[in-house]
Amino acid sequence: MTTTAENEAALEAAEKAGGGAAAGRFTRLRDFGVVLGVVAIVVALSLTTETFLTTGNLVNLLDQAAVVGLLACAATLVIISGAFDLSITAVLAVSAITAVVVTGGAGVAAGMAAAVLVGGVLGAINGLVVVTVKVHSFIATLALSIMYRGLAVILTAGAIVYPPEDVATAFQALSWPTVLGGITAASLLFLLVAAVCWIVLARTTFGRRVYAIGGNEEAARLSGIRVGSIRVAVFAISGVCAALAGLILAARGGSAQASMATGMELTAIAAAVVGGTSVLGGEGAIWRGLIGVLLITLIGNGFNLLGWDTIYQQVVQGALILGAVSFDRLLRRSRA
């Protein structure tokens, strides 16, 4: 005959098993629900428009996703580590301006290298501030973003800067189409960087430590992980991704200015969150962020192809973000 204590233990075990099964279903839904959403949009646009599946439109879609995709890679890495980076577009602007200025004196290759270096340094500064000052990353990077935008204004005197005419064409090389069906060099750069970030996060010790820090920073520290160094490295990678995005924007426009990509950091964070990266850290993947980018890009492309008022596009994107965050909270409650 079982005792009351045994009955209570069996009941608790059953509840945990049920909760685990529910959490598993929620996790699968989060992983593949957004993929099904993308498939549904693709099917709908294919049936309602004649131009969606054309080569020109598909190449354009990939090109449109390049800048936001690079920023989303940055945002995904930082969010998984348990932080936020609101300065990525300000870093983008300073890096792009650096590329133009250095190109004028030392050539295109030196300008691009300088931009990437500046992006990495500014990202590392973000990480050092967050680690040493112990200010929440949201506030710290917001303040640093304002500082970097101010620096960009100082560097340009509030004007648009252009590379010298004799190297202007070479400076825009990233916007050129390649032999691969007209896919631009910017799109190829985006795919390459995304693949590298994916491998680093999913297949390396560094990536496992990023997840550990985002999941439980104190436990990671007690297990011997150098939390500060990993966090600085993550912010530095974020800065490099932002710099590459800045190079693409500068190449497209043949110029740079302090107000470049203002507000795009929120779109990048939205893509990461909509794709299934947890805002609380410790969970997510680069592929999820890329699916989020694809979803947001498809929505914009669909509005254009169907001739809908783009004002409502912001409403749809906002609803997606709210739904993704709410679903993440529901998932975590089900695991508790």
Please report the pLDDT score of residue 9 as a whole number. Answer: 43
Going by C-alpha positions, the residue among 13, 131, 107, 123 that lies closest to residue 73 is 123
Distance CA(332)–CA(138), nearest Å, equals 22
Coil, helix or strand at residue 161? strand
Going by C-alpha positions, the residue among 323, 271, 266 that lies closest to residue 297 is 271
What's the alpha-carbon Rg for the chain, to the nearest Å? 22
Please report the pLDDT score of residue 331 as a whole number. Answer: 66
User: What residue segments make up the domains of the chain, in order of their start?
Assistant: 36-328
Burial class (CB in 10 A: 0-12, 13-18, 19+), 171: buried
Going by C-alpha positions, the residue among 245, 228, 239 that lies closest to residue 124 is 239
User: Mean pLDDT of residues grouped by 10 in the chain (336 residues)?
Assistant: 45 41 53 78 91 91 95 96 96 97 95 98 97 93 97 95 94 88 92 96 96 94 94 97 97 95 92 88 92 91 86 80 72 64
Going by C-alpha positions, the residue among 136, 89, 98 that lies closest to residue 116 is 98
Please report the pLDDT score of residue 231 as a whole number. Answer: 96
Place of tokens 């749809």: 316
Task: Please give the model's pTM, rounded to 2 decimal places.
Answer: 0.88
Work out whether the CA dihedral 2, 7, 9, 11 comes out positive or negative: positive
Coil, helix or strand at residue 163? coil
Q: Which fold has domain 36-328?
A: ABC transporter involved in vitamin B12 uptake, BtuC (1.10.3470)
Distance CA(178)–CA(59), nearest Å, equals 11
